[in-house]
Amino acid sequence: MNLRTLARYPLLPETSAYLKGIGISLDSLVNHAAYEQVRHAGRRRVMEALVDGHINEYSMVSEADLLVELLSYVVARIIVSCTADEHLIQRYALAEAITTQKRLESEKLDFVIEMAVLMGMDAVAINATETSIHFTDYLRHSSDMRSEEWKLNNQELDRGRVPVSKDRLARLLQHAIKDSIEAELPLPVNDDIIAAFKNSIDLVIEEVARRKARFEEESYGRVSFLRLPPCMKKLLDMMKKGQNVPHVGRFALTSFLHIIGMTNDDIVTVFSSSPDFKEQLARYQIDHITGKTSGVEYLPPECSTMRTHGVCFDPDSLCKKKWLNHPLTYYRVKGKKPRNKSKAGEKAVNKESGQENSTSSGGQ
């Protein structure tokens, strides 16, 4: 395996053998002055994962450039392990997986299949542009993709196998790689390693804390996160962890946060943790859903619609009340005093039902 391939795909098992072959030890990587640039690149890699949601591409002209890029992956994993923060591990793993997916899209099909097999998938080539994987692998790695085009019942199924294009296989690999990296971290680190990376660790922890502060369950102006229904809490948590949220979930969350009083700028801030966040696109969609540009204020879907689209999560005892059929009803009932709860619920559900009939169909 050549150095350029390893620098682009450092998770390959050949990486360990290569580094051992050129005699780079963990001690020298952590402490030796000759690897200061590598340690800086590793910190940069973690911060890009945390802030940007992906690893940026840099010019790799010389062998030295390639080696720095390869070793930055090793150092990044060490820094992430030193923090042992769940949010950072998930965010970092997703960023590495997204970056790998984008790179795989420019590779030949045979290489992408090799990577899939490495990740434990049963993948074989059908022709020069298409492969097939076992349906169990398809289900496992498409579980977070809630759009209709990814549902198994919308795929061709031939003797238990699902045909997929190279790009779709790369997208499935994103999920597999993310899970693999998350399972490996945190690595065991000792006090000496933690001390050596103290400055980098402090910088990363400060950024993690700043990001977490946005999503703490506290009042946000007139908005109380403590009153959110389980579905909206889950969608917010997915955003917080940098997980992909399906379109219907984003629509529901946007319209819900708008109706309960959050500004469009604040909703953009909430969405900024999404791995595929693009501010201009996010603002356009938010402004449309909230009526700023469309002239129509869409309501979030009813509970039945949330269930149909797979974004009804962990319903609690209030959710199971017969009259509770809308997330906004849940929010308003939670804001009432316990002694008025029943009447408040009946009043809120009537109000929601009337609004739903008049405006929400446009957002489905």
Q: What does the pLDDT look like over 39-52, one tens digit per residue?
A: 999 999 999 999 98
- What are 272-310's pLDDT values in tens digits? 766 667 788 889 999 999 999 888 889 999 999 999 999
Residue 350 pLDDT: 45
Residue 346 pLDDT: 45
Taking Cα atoms as reference points, which of 82, 334, 60 lies closest to residue 190?
Answer: 82
174 within some domain: yes
Using pLDDT thresholds of 50, 70 and 90, give the confidence band for residue 347. very low
Using pLDDT thresholds of 50, 70 and 90, give the confidence band for residue 73. very high
232 within some domain: yes
Same domain, 221 and 352: yes
Spatial neighbors of 334 by CB under 8 A, at least 6 apart, are 226, 227, 318
Same domain, 73 and 135: no
Mean of pLDDT values over 139-162: 88
Q: Distance (Å, rounded) from C-alpha 78 to C-alpha 184?
A: 11
Residue 358 pLDDT: 36
- Sign of the alpha-carbon dihedral angle for 152, 246, 177, 81: negative
92 within some domain: no
Residue 272 pLDDT: 79
Give the residue with greater pLDDT, 361 vs 134: 134
**Domain C-terminal end among 181, 199, 230:** 181
The whole domain housing 54 covers 3-84+186-209
Residues 172, 133 contacting (CB under 8 angstroms): yes
Alpha carbon distances (Å) from 361 to 37, 89, 186, 316, 352: 56, 39, 46, 26, 13
Same domain, 287 and 148: no
94 within some domain: no
Same domain, 68 and 129: no
89 within some domain: no
90 within some domain: no
Same domain, 226 and 318: yes
Q: How many separate domains does the chain show?
A: 3
Same domain, 348 and 269: yes
Alpha carbon distances (Å) from 364 to 158, 253, 254, 305, 343: 32, 13, 13, 9, 29
Same domain, 282 and 345: yes
Residue 215 pLDDT: 56
- What are 204-216's pLDDT values in tens digits? 999 988 877 765 5
Same domain, 345 and 263: yes
Same domain, 51 and 193: yes
44 within some domain: yes
Same domain, 78 and 205: yes
- Looking at mean pLDDT, say which of 204-213, 312-321, 353-362 comes out highest: 312-321
Same domain, 47 and 192: yes
Using pLDDT thresholds of 50, 70 and 90, give the confidence band for residue 364. very low
Mean of pLDDT values over 182-210: 94
Does the pTM of the predicted model rise above 0.75? no
Using pLDDT thresholds of 50, 70 and 90, give the confidence band for residue 246. confident
Same domain, 44 and 170: no
Taking Cα atoms as reference points, which of 144, 211, 205 lies closest to residue 179?
Answer: 144
